[in-house]
A and B are shown apart, each in its own frame.
Chain A
Amino acid sequence: MTTFVFCSYILNYYFYYCGYFVTVIFLLVRFSRLTAMDNEMCSLKRQLEEKEKEIAALRSKLAARVEKASELKIQDKVTTLNPLTAKPSLSNEDIMRYSRQLLLPDLGVQGQLKLSQTSVLVVGCGGLGCPLAQYLAAAGIGRLGLLDYDEVELSNLHRQVLHGEENQGQAKALSAARSVIRLNSGVECIPYHLQLSPENALQLVQQYDIVADCSDNVPTRYLVNDACVLSGKPLVSASALRMEGQLTVYNYHGGPCYRCLYPVPPPPETVTNCSDGGVLGVVPGIMGCLQALEVLKIASGQGTACGQQLLLFDAQNARFRSIRLRPKQPSCVVCGEIPSVTRLVDYEAFCGSAATDKCRKLNLLSKDQRITVQDYKSIRDSTGPHILLDVRPLVEVEICSLPSSLNIPLSSLEEKKSKDIQLLQEKISQVKQQMAGDQQAPVYVVCKLGNDSQKAVQLLEKMSGEEVDGITVKDISGGLMAWAKMIDPSFPRY
């Protein structure tokens, strides 16, 4: 009995202690779990605090950007700007941002500070102006005036690299300014959505230190030149077409101005623009970059070697040539010794063309020598025998053409190439065979916009009775682009 009591006593103790240990272990485990959770919570809290700090920093950065972007007020007229404030030194952020160029002995801190105090007027935000503005902003130029009268179109995007698909229809000046601000919010950007004119050019040019001519037409080139000469500003000028580019710095340290080199503007019919002649996007890209380089060298005080030389870029053969130019000409009408141009004049009248690169509309023919695209549609529908003569260059015919057209480029007609004339004669006699009696074969001439087709009609009428005979020639007014617009919306436009 006592043994039993003793045993049960021991067991009791045993169980008691076991229970005690289990409880202690249970509590210990719980406690350590709690400490782990506490630690985790602390670390999460810390992380959260860090993230909150980051978010706050991002918020203020975003607010600064939004404020900066909303500051981008598009200017439709020239206003007076506050002078650029001189920076006494570079901030830590400046030093980090520009470190790779600060390391260049040619630039250095002093050069960087000079850049930040320089304002540049970019005339034209197209194929040259986009890369130029991009590199000037990236390098930390102080102020950029971005001028363009035009809006972004789909056919611009292959070369005007600051504009995106979503910017179509927007003012180029604003679209370019927004891209530039995104790249470097420290640059002051002023978008001008206006046409540079003899009325506003001087007031505008006077407010900038350097002018970059990135325009696309002859009258604007003379206007910008004269405004720079009259206000004593260096003009960094580039141009590009097809597979060629040119670069010169005018009106700089005794060098020539544009008029010293080209006193008389070229006849408008000899000028090809990008929408007529085409251009590979990277060619103005390269020329705009070279322009940026010269602007940066002038702005940072290194000077330029292009003040008395014409740099030619031949993209086809990957060759640069530079032609040494004469100093400025004493006989120059604007920068010479006795200038006759002492204020801005009418440059469209002087050049005989409009200050745009939009195709001009020729009017060479009388009303009865032309038909509308609607008229031609009914002729096609009635299936009457006729010749549709497409006088565009082969490269354009390959883009699109109307079925059953005969292609003889205007240049071949002008040169009276015997192979092409023979082809035309054969076609004329075919059509005549299809027609009753001794009627004249109708020839309808078409091109892209209705300019070359008018020239071709004049040419064919001159050839009548000699190279070609028995035809009536008419031009399709407005060309294939009018056809695409009015008759067949599925016809490609270019």
Chain B
Amino acid sequence: MNTVSVIYFGQSAELTGLKGEELVSVPTPISSRELWELLQQRHPRLAVLRGHVVLAVAQQYIPIAEQLVVLRDGDEVAVVPPLSGG
């Protein structure tokens, strides 16, 4: 069980109403799908981004799948939907 900080970018910050938050007692290892579902449970409006978002743990891209992720205490989880504006 670890504490990680989640950073929300772009549309995900709008949908959650947060720029970031601390998640305590996150089980590890955890599949990236479970990690995403955990976020979606906290913020159901994130569901619209599923399949259109980059998830990164400790500055490393993680595909949302069954792959197991080891979370270290203090790791940063970034939720990054694409930006298309210019």
**A interface residues with partner B (beta carbon < 8 Å):** 124, 126-129, 213-218, 221, 238-242, 244-246, 261-267, 269-274, 277, 279, 284, 310, 312, 314, 316, 321-326, 357
B84 touches A217 (CB 8 A): yes
Bound form: Cα–Cα A126–B85 in Å: 10
Task: Report if B10 contacts A (CB, 8 A).
Answer: yes
Main secondary structure of the interface of A (DSSP, over half): mixed
Bound form: Cα–Cα A399–B49 in Å: 30
| Central interface residue in A245, A321, A325, by most chain B CB within 10 Å | A321
Q: Which residues of the partner chain B approach A324 to less than 8 Å between Cβ atoms?
A: 59-61
B82 touches A246 (CB 8 A): yes
Instruction: Enumerate B4-51 residues with CB–CB distance to A below 8 Å.
Output: 7, 9-11, 14, 19, 48-49, 51
The chain A residue with its CB closest to the CB of B19 is A316
B86 touches A270 (CB 8 A): no
Task: Report if B78 contacts A (CB, 8 A).
Answer: yes
- Within the complex, which residue of B19, B78, B85 is in contact with A216, where a contact is CB–CB below 8 Å? B85
- Pick the 9 closest A-B CB pairs, nearest first: A241-B85, A239-B83, A266-B52, A128-B86, A323-B56, A216-B86, A274-B85, A218-B84, A325-B61
B48 touches A310 (CB 8 A): no
- Chain B 48-66 per-residue mask, 1 if CB under 8 angstroms from chain A, else 0: 1101101010011101000
A272 touches B11 (CB 8 A): yes
The chain A residue with its CB closest to the CB of B61 is A325
**B interface residues with partner A (beta carbon < 8 Å):** 7, 9-11, 14, 19, 48-49, 51-52, 54, 56, 59-61, 63, 78, 80-86
Question: B17 CB to closest chain A CB, in angstroms?
Answer: 9
- Within the complex, which residue of A239, A261, A316 is in contact with B84, where a contact is CB–CB below 8 Å? A239
Q: Which residues of the partner chain B approach A240 to less than 8 Å between Cβ atoms?
A: 83, 85-86
B10 touches A261 (CB 8 A): no
Q: Which residues of the partner chain A approach B10 to less than 8 Å between Cβ atoms?
A: 241-242, 244, 272
Bound form: Cα–Cα A190–B86 in Å: 21
B85 touches A321 (CB 8 A): no
Q: Which residues of the partner chain B approach A314 to less than 8 Å between Cβ atoms?
A: 9
Bound form: Cα–Cα A310–B78 in Å: 12
9 additional A-B pairs beyond A126-B86, A277-B85, beta carbons within 8 Å, are A215-B86, A246-B83, A267-B52, A270-B49, A272-B85, A273-B85, A321-B78, A323-B56, A324-B59
B85 touches A239 (CB 8 A): yes
- Within the complex, which residue of B9, B52, B56, B63 is in contact with A244, where a contact is CB–CB below 8 Å? B9
Question: A355 CB to closest chain B CB, in angstroms?
Answer: 11
A279 touches B85 (CB 8 A): yes
B78 touches A323 (CB 8 A): yes
Bound form: Cα–Cα A217–B48 in Å: 19
The chain A residue with its CB closest to the CB of B49 is A270
- Within the complex, which residue of A128, A221, A270, A310 is in contact with B52, where a contact is CB–CB below 8 Å? A270
- Within the complex, which residue of A238, A261, A322, A357 is in contact with B54, where a contact is CB–CB below 8 Å? A261
